Structure 1
Amino acid sequence: MVSDNSFCRQKRTKTDGNVCMDTYSLLYSSSHRTGLLSGFQRLRDQKKMCDVVLEAGGVSFPCHRSLLASSSDYFWALFGETTAERSADSIRLPALTPEGLEAILDFLYSGWLSISSSTLPVVVEAARYLQVEAALSICERFMADGLTADNCCYYANLAEQHFLLNALEAANQTIAKKMAVLLQKSRVDLLGLNFPSLMAVLDADEIPGAKEVDLIRLSLDWLDENGPLPLLKSNLLLSRLRFGLVAPSDLSDLCHGNRAMATPLIRSQLTRALEYHHMGSTQPIAQSRQSTLRGSPNRVLLVGGGVSPDWPEQQVLSFDTSSRKFSSPGFVLPLRLRNPCVCSVGGFLFVIGGEDMKNSNEKSVTVSTSSQAWRYDPRFNHWKKMESMLERRVQFTCCVVEDVIYAIGGRQSNLDSMTYTSLASGEYCDMASGAWRRAAAMPCPLHGHASTVLDKSIYVSGGLPAHQCGIHGSNQDVNREISRECLSWDLTATVWEKRASMSIPRFGHRLATAHGYIYALLGMYEQFCDIERYDPQSNHWTRLKPLANGLFSYGMLTLACGNLLVFGGRRWSDGQQVTVRNVLEYDTKKDQWREIAQLPRPLTGTECTLLPLPD
């Protein structure tokens, strides 16, 4: 079909020295090329003016030498001035099939390439042999656009055979993405995969849903199926596996009697993996590619909390910031804790301190301040009890600086006298030994304060400085003593320093760091919903746009972009505390709030952190 004429005008001027001789225009017709090809196609259909016959598989194709030479580097060289084929009436192409040659000739004469999954191999082979790059590009696009779990291995092998690098990369990515399905339903296809593709897939950071032990078994089966391979190649393949993600017992079973696993390189990697499994408390600071989960972007974890502040649950929720959906990560807290601190280091979750709540009988609950520290390993879905803190703490804060966990302040209950004691002390977890060490104490005891990290310094604000008080006190008495002060501790120093005070006293609030500033958000006894920002350069706090409604006992997290997420919490409504389901996002650059999701149920007292989780 010939399209309508379209013209492109270019004005040019003839000159003779400095004298302008004439001005003229160049006009281009986009339909002329289409008409020219259509004319050649008619001549070919009618077998007119054909000056060469191509033969493949016993089938003859009359063609025009000039069109072939102008469209293919192969024919340009074949019909050169010094070749025997230059004047030959018939040329045999035994390397090609009639179907492949016909598809490429149709493309050269019309610009249309007829292609399907079944004819793709012969068409690609003909296009590559005849050096028709435009047809190869179309084949590559066809492959990349049509990749599925059923054909990705087949397309990867075809692309690797014919050096279609873009299609090969797309096929390898699809294999990695669909690996969990392929391991179950198309293992034969995986065992027939070409070596470069299998290496590329095992090198991928994202292989969702596939267990590392299954990838190791696949690799060993592939070596058995396609071997024997030189040890260098088997080393290249197996070194892309992550042995640190496999339990020691499984590693022993896989190594038994397998020659490929006994080479010095692989044995050294297996030794390092076994050493990693026996590192205990040091594991979070000894992470390497061998022990890092594949394809596990950080998820927001909501740890603990519940509908009622008096009876927290052992639940853990996962929030995907991309889809804005909640799911269960498949594990729960080992204890029922109220107001613990939560953080993550090296891909491990840490839950520290808080109030341990137990049913002493059907009608009463025992509450005790805890010094316990628990660590969760998402690689093996396992909780481990760590060495306890030096002091029992609740309503304290924890920060992570360069993979070191710092616990600061808090309070501990004295049940015998129905009082509590606030703490000024600080301590940190020495990951190398798993022990807690003393850190610089704050100038005065604090609990209900907030903390954050900026430029490797810890900042603390607000809280209640009372040293010893009754457990049951009035809000009015508490509100009079709440602090506005802000402190900072450069970890290289031995003492805390005072910074500019906040504009209002805060208790049970949150601090967050974003874009070089510190943000103080909401609190338990505030009369207003003010948010303020601290500039460490000018040592000054600035009030920002307040939230429409007050909120406290919420979970909060800072995203990589600098925005803040606030999960659930409680607010006052008609003189009563109401637990909410809202998930709010605060844009720190625009000073704007918006609701982005709803919790599965009302939630108060939850703690948040980021953690990579297996799919």
Structure 2
Amino acid sequence: MHEKTDSRMDLKPKPLLDVFHYKDPEQPSQLLTQLNLLRQQQVFTDVLLCSDNIEIPCHRNVLASSSPYFTAMFCHNFRESQQQKVRLKGIPSGILRSIVDYVYTGSIVIIMDTVVPLMQAVSMLQYARLFEACSHFLQEQLSPENCLSMIRLSDILQCGSLREKAREMAVQNFSDVSTSEDLCEMSLPELLRYLEDDGLCAEEEQVFETLLAWIHHDPFSRRGAISDLFQKVRLRFIHPTYLFQFIASDPLVQSSNLCSEIIESVRRLMFSVSAKCGSDLKPLWVTPRRYTCRETLVLVGGRKNNEQTSREALLFDQGTHRWRCLAKLPLRLHKAAYVCLHSVLYVLGGLTMNTELNAVSNAVYTLSLKTNQWRTAEAMVQPRFAHQSITYLHYIFVLGGLGLDMQLCDTVERYSSMFNQWELMAPMPTAVLHPAIAANDQRIYLFGGQDAMQNPVRMIQVYHIGRNLWSKMENRTVKNVSAPAVVIDNKIYIVGGYTRRMIAYDTKSNKFLKCKNLKERRMHHAATVLDDKLYVTGGRFINGHDVIEDSDCFECYDPKTDAWTSKGTLPYKLFDHGSLSMVCVSNRPNSP
């Protein structure tokens, strides 16, 4: 038999604690409370802080332990270490009393009426945390109306955190701040720093108008600053009409030889149809956009849900990854062309769909994201639809399509934003419908397409913009119809076109490179470039049963990794639409 064992014998006694670390959480506050009572009862107080006509009893050791200023005063061989009364000049008595209360209680009430003298006093007495508390209080009071005066105040107080926040508000609210009296009171160095800030939330036209307003506030002493200020305007991103008709004719600009030379250099650059500039203009011309001018994706027109031609215009909010509705097109247009020039969206021609008799149009409609309103612009020379359009520098080119007689045409016309007029250019060597089109290095490239009998055309047609001349070459690699093309790093990417293929044409080596295929045979889709990546939207595709379907696809291709990723879906199925990258001004990070 087994003996029963008592389970209690298996329990081992817990070891005794040799050390117990105890921390009383209430001790610091209770100590402060008792020290404050001793101060109020004047027990052990050994120094009087004096200001105006008041004397505040304190303990030297408490003051010395609270601030480097008092540490130096009482713990070194300064005369105050032996004095019973210490006079603090320049500190109002009420402020001094509040600071002493703060030292003994850790609490203080900060109000707008006294925050500035309080900050000056605590800066002198070296209470860093209280100084930053005051700075935080002022930051909470910031508004577009007072941010410039707060910047000046921060300089007086030598408060970096306040200056940073006030400046941030100033650059993000440029429209409100630029019209304020405070801006006109800025010194020239201050204004120069302000206008050269990459984060300035402004269009360059407004930057120019702001510097004019500043000069006109005191023209006698400031007119000489026009040359320095003018170089802060990023002329490359100003609409040519505004630049050559308004800025160039301004008396202040004309009074400066440097300004006149800069404008003339820009004029020569644009007339030469060259994207390259001379060394004299390069420092100004290559300055990038301010980073508040963000590119965003806009879709417009097309055929929606295979039901009807759409009047919709959508903007993709990169912050929320949602689509936002813009103002609707004035009318339904079938197979119009869509381009963006100088941050303005252009809808060109098309077949009008809101009348009993459909009519071929030469009308041009424009949309600015700033106003979100459609306007009519100078009409094209010829009515057309199913045509191609592209921009280069300050030009819009319109090529081919179907004309009034519904016949395929070879005509080309060009719009100059400098002169706001259209003119006919040299016609295409071979009229084609639905080619892929791209512009690079003073040339427009047309790849493939189909002829009047709807046969694929295996050809590259090249238009030299400066010479107004065409050339063409047969190429068996080209076999696209209804495919978009985009340019990234001197390579023209042709995306699909009744095929899954995507190929890149290297304009320097005159060679084609194979890229990662699309998932399906795609056509009538749209493509654009954002941040050096290719975005493809909508279109039609041929499924596994050789049936054509409409698509709501939204995909991105990265040339660096040769990989496709899905960006979700469009709000509806869409094809024959425009997809454009447009610049808009935003003071919200990562959003348009």
- TM-score w.r.t. length of structure 2: 0.68
Per-residue deviation, 1:339 = 6.3
Q: How does 1:103-502 map to 2 (within 5 A)?
A: 103-184=98-179, 187-193=180-186, 198-208=191-201, 210=202, 212-222=204-214, 239-243=231-235, 245=238, 247-252=243-248, 254-256=250-252, 262=256, 267-268=257-258, 271-277=261-267, 279-280=270-271, 282=273, 288=285, 292=289, 295-307=292-304, 317-323=314-320, 324-328=322-326, 338=335, 340=337, 356-357=350-351, 363-366=357-360, 370=387, 373=390, 385=422, 390=428, 391-399=430-438, 406-413=445-452, 419-428=453-462, 438=472, 441-443=475-477, 445-449=479-483, 457-458=491-492, 460=494, 463=497, 489-494=505-510, 496=512
Q: Determine if contact 2:64/2:71 at 8 Å carries over to the other structure.
A: yes
Per-residue deviation, 1:555 = 8.0
Q: Determine if contact 1:555/1:606 at 8 Å carries over to the other structure.
A: no
Q: Determine if contact 2:309/2:353 at 8 Å carries over to the other structure.
A: no
Per-residue deviation, 1:155 = 2.1
**Shift in alpha-carbon separation, 1:193–1:499, aligned structure 2, 3 A:** closer
Once residues 102 and 235 of structure 1 are traced to their aligned partners in structure 2, the CA distance between those partners, rounded to angstroms, is 53
Q: CA RMSD in A?
A: 5.2
Q: Which residue of 1 aligns with 2:579?
A: 608
**Shift in alpha-carbon separation, 1:249–1:554, aligned structure 2, 3 A:** same
Q: Determine if contact 2:47/2:85 at 8 Å carries over to the other structure.
A: yes
Per-residue deviation, 1:502 = 7.9
**Shift in alpha-carbon separation, 1:144–1:41, aligned structure 2, 3 A:** same
Once residues 543 and 387 of structure 2 are traced to their aligned partners in structure 1, the CA distance between those partners, rounded to angstroms, is 31
Once residues 418 and 105 of structure 2 are traced to their aligned partners in structure 1, the CA distance between those partners, rounded to angstroms, is 60
**Shift in alpha-carbon separation, 1:381–1:513, aligned structure 2, 3 A:** closer
Q: 2:44 aligns to what SS in structure 1? A: coil
Q: Determine if contact 2:334/2:385 at 8 Å carries over to the other structure.
A: no
Stretch moving more, 126-135 or 237-246: 237-246
Q: 2:26 aligns to what SS in structure 1? A: helix
After superposition, what is the alpha-carbon deviation per residue over 1:246-286, rounded to whole angstroms, capped at 9, x for unaligned?
5334334654399xx74xxxx53553245325615747666
Once residues 78 and 500 of structure 1 are traced to their aligned partners in structure 2, the CA distance between those partners, rounded to angstroms, is 74
One-letter code aligned to 1:201: Y
Per-residue deviation, 1:561 = 12
Q: 1:126 aligns to what SS in structure 2? A: helix
**Shift in alpha-carbon separation, 1:397–1:518, aligned structure 2, 3 A:** same
After superposition, what is the alpha-carbon deviation per residue over 1:266-308, rounded to whole angstroms, capped at 9, x for unaligned?
x535532453256157476668366846722111122432559
Q: Determine if contact 1:157/1:193 at 8 Å carries over to the other structure.
A: no
**Shift in alpha-carbon separation, 1:452–1:99, aligned structure 2, 3 A:** same
Q: 1:250 aligns to what SS in structure 2? A: helix
Per-residue deviation, 1:508 = 4.1
Per-residue deviation, 1:606 = 0.9
Q: 1:190 aligns to what SS in structure 2? A: helix
Once residues 518 and 150 of structure 1 are traced to their aligned partners in structure 2, the CA distance between those partners, rounded to angstroms, is 42
After superposition, what is the alpha-carbon deviation per residue over 1:529-548, rounded to whole angstroms, capped at 9, x for unaligned?
99xxxxxxxxxxxxxxxxxx
Q: Determine if contact 2:557/2:564 at 8 Å carries over to the other structure.
A: no
Q: Please, which runs of 5 or more residues in structure 2 have no aligned partner?
A: 1-16, 278-283, 361-383, 396-416, 587-592
Q: 2:482 aligns to what SS in structure 1? A: coil
Q: 1:297 aligns to what SS in structure 2? A: strand
Q: Which residue of 2 aligns with 1:467?
A: none
Q: Which residue of 1 aligns with 2:46?
A: 51
After superposition, what is the alpha-carbon deviation per residue over 1:216-266, rounded to whole angstroms, capped at 9, x for unaligned?
4544554676899899998766643435535334334654399xx74xxxx
Once residues 442 and 553 of structure 2 are traced to their aligned partners in structure 1, the CA distance between those partners, rounded to angstroms, is 22
Q: 1:29 aligns to what SS in structure 2? A: coil
Q: 2:550 aligns to what SS in structure 1? A: coil
Q: Which residue of 2 aligns with 1:526?
A: 542
Q: 1:301 aligns to what SS in structure 2? A: strand
After superposition, what is the alpha-carbon deviation per residue over 1:355-414, rounded to whole angstroms, capped at 9, x for unaligned?
853699962434666466556979x9997658577354432223566897543111243x
- TM-score w.r.t. length of structure 1: 0.65
Once residues 284 and 558 of structure 1 are traced to their aligned partners in structure 2, the CA distance between those partners, rounded to angstroms, is 27
Q: 1:247 aligns to what SS in structure 2? A: helix
**Shift in alpha-carbon separation, 1:603–1:250, aligned structure 2, 3 A:** same
**Shift in alpha-carbon separation, 1:211–1:452, aligned structure 2, 3 A:** closer
Determine if the alignment matches structure 1 residue 78 to structure 2 residue 73: yes
Q: 1:61 aligns to what SS in structure 2? A: strand
Q: Please, which runs of 5 or more residues in structure 1 have no aligned partner?
A: 1-21, 414-418, 465-482, 531-548, 564-586
Aligned length: 512
Q: 2:99 aligns to what SS in structure 1? A: helix
Once residues 478 and 226 of structure 2 are traced to their aligned partners in structure 1, the CA distance between those partners, rounded to angstroms, is 62
One-letter code aligned to 2:550: F
Stretch moving more, 195-204 or 551-560: 551-560
Once residues 504 and 234 of structure 1 are traced to their aligned partners in structure 2, the CA distance between those partners, rounded to angstroms, is 58
After superposition, what is the alpha-carbon deviation per residue over 1:541-562, rounded to whole angstroms, capped at 9, x for unaligned?
xxxxxxxx97437685638899
**Shift in alpha-carbon separation, 1:257–1:395, aligned structure 2, 3 A:** closer
Once residues 516 and 524 of structure 1 are traced to their aligned partners in structure 2, the CA distance between those partners, rounded to angstroms, is 25
One-letter code aligned to 1:552: D
Once residues 31 and 251 of structure 2 are traced to their aligned partners in structure 1, the CA distance between those partners, rounded to angstroms, is 67
Identity between Structure 1 and Structure 2 (%): 17
